[in-house]
Amino acid sequence: MTMGPSWRPGCRRHCRRWCHVALVGLLVAVAGACTHNPTGAASPSAPVPAAPTTAPPVSDPTPTPTPSASSTALGLAMQQDLRPQFQHGPKPAEYQKYIVLHDTEGGGTPASVVAWWANEGQLIAAHFVIGTDGTVLLVVPLDVIAHHAGFGDTGHDAAYGVPEDGRDDRRGTRPVGAWASDYGMNSYSVGIELIHKGQHAAYPQAQLDALDRVIAYIDAYYGFESTIIDHKAWRTGNSDTSRAFATYLAAYQDHRTHT
């Protein structure tokens, strides 16, 4: 995801550019991190790199978190595919403020989305990916920074109360322009990626039910309710979440379930 002069705000354009970059085989660097998968599933012929066996590349390794809530107790059948390449620094509970909702703008399954991220050499990922069938995959531990929100509008660090304090290693990050120079959100949030494509396509009931449970799990994990936003709130011009999600977002922000 290199940001040349033709790049303009908006995840759709952004992701198409990523796709192009991927196709020509260039190294894709994390910039205005958006975790969309424009191609849907990973190429079935592409090798999936094995998860590194070395310790996560964080400068100040976070102790293994002790969840205050059991996913099983909350009816959350959560799978894990924790990949150190997606971990960018410590995010202990005192820094948790937001839940940022995303759409992949592509198809596939949670496993194929994660494989696509990894295959592309990107360092971006959301903490959770939720499939259309309600499958939930945890990709980054909650107490670790993930590059999912990327750059936001200039002034949003202050507006959202997310000052940059150096915890985010910003590996692979590139500026996207003076209009979006703030990068604090990753350090204060959990990102959730919904597998979904299009501005008007419906969100399956199973997926929304799973999102309800994931949000309840995050709330219980930290012991407080994080503010729920979507990606385009952080960066003006993003297309995610879709227009079809607007009523659900309002419901989540009001009472934390989609109904």
- Least separation, in Å, of the C-beta of 54 and Zn ion? 29
If the CB atoms of residues 14 and 258 are measured against Zn ion, the closer one turns out to be: 14
Q: Counting contacts by CB under 5 A, is residue 34 touching Zn ion?
A: yes
Q: How many residues bind Zn ion (CB under 5 A)?
A: 4
If the CB atoms of residues 213 and 231 are measured against Zn ion, the closer one turns out to be: 231
The one-letter code for the residue type at 26 is L
Task: Please check whether residue 59 is in contact with residue 168, taking contact to mean a CB–CB distance below 8 angstroms.
Answer: no
The rounded distance, in Å, linking the Cα atoms of 111 and 123 is: 16
Q: What are phi and psi of 257, to 5 degrees?
A: -135, 160
Give the DSSP H/E element, type plus range, for residue 213.
helix 205-222
- Given the rule CB under 5 A, which of 34-42, 53-61, 77-85, 171-179 is the region that contacts Zn ion? 34-42
If the CB atoms of residues 220 and 235 are measured against Zn ion, the closer one turns out to be: 235
If the CB atoms of residues 127 and 231 are measured against Zn ion, the closer one turns out to be: 231
Nearest to 147 by CA among 130, 178, 172, 120: 172
If the CB atoms of residues 12 and 171 are measured against Zn ion, the closer one turns out to be: 12
The rounded distance, in Å, linking the Cα atoms of 242 and 244 is: 5
- Least separation, in Å, of the C-beta of 105 and Zn ion? 8
- Least separation, in Å, of the C-beta of 195 and Zn ion? 12
Task: Please check whether residue 42 is in contact with residue 115, taking contact to mean a CB–CB distance below 8 angstroms.
Answer: yes
- Least separation, in Å, of the C-beta of 127 and Zn ion? 13
Q: What are phi and psi of 201, to 5 degrees?
A: -65, 145
Q: Which structure tokens are listed for 116? A: 């696509």
If the CB atoms of residues 62 and 242 are measured against Zn ion, the closer one turns out to be: 242
- Given the rule CB under 5 A, which of 13-21, 29-37, 117-125, 208-216 is the region that contacts Zn ion? 29-37
Binding letters toward Zn ion, positions 93-122, x by CB under 5 A: ---------x--------------------
* Helix, strand, coil share of the chain (percent; to 5): 30, 10, 60
- Least separation, in Å, of the C-beta of 104 and Zn ion? 8
- Least separation, in Å, of the C-beta of 55 and Zn ion? 28
Q: Which structure tokens are listed for 58? A: 């964080």
Q: Which structure tokens are listed for 197? A: 């494509």
Considering only residues 185 to 244 of the shown chain, the ones binding Zn ion according to CB under 5 A are 231, 240
Q: Which residues bind Zn ion (CB under 5 A)?
A: 34, 102, 231, 240
